[in-house]
Chains A and B, each alone.
Chain A
Amino acid sequence: MVIEFSINVENAGDVPFVKVSGEIDVYTCPKLHKVLTEIVASGSPKVVLDLENVHYIDSTGLGTIAHAARTLSKSDGHLNVVCNRPQVRKIFEISGLSSKNISLFDEAAKALAV
Chain B
Amino acid sequence: MTSQTVCIQIPAISDFVGVVRLAVSGVASRMQFSLDDIEDIKVAVSEACTNAVQHAYGSVNGFIDVEMILHSDKLEIVVRDSGKGFDPDNAVSDKKDGANNELFGLGLGLTFIKTLMDFSEIKSTSSGTVVRMVKNAPPVSIPA
Point out residues on A near B: beta carbons under 8 Å: 2, 23, 25-27, 56, 58-60, 62-64, 66-67, 70, 86-87, 91, 94-96, 100
Contacts and interface: CB of A to CB of B under 8 A. Distances in A.
A63 B14 CA distance: 16
Contacts of B47: 58-59
B112 A63 contact: no
B17 A25 contact: yes
A26 B43 contact: no
Contact of A58 (B22, B93, B112): B112
Contacts of B15: 27
Q: Is the interface of B mostly helix, strand, loop or mixed?
A: helix
A21 to B, nearest CB: 15
Closest 9 CB pairs of A and B: A59-B108, A27-B14, A63-B105, A59-B109, A26-B14, A87-B39, A26-B50, A59-B105, A63-B101
B18 interface: yes
A91 B95 contact: no
Contacts of A62: 105, 108
B82 interface: no
Nearest to A64: B101
Scoring A58, A67, A94 by chain B CB atoms within 10 A of each residue's CB, the highest score goes to: A58
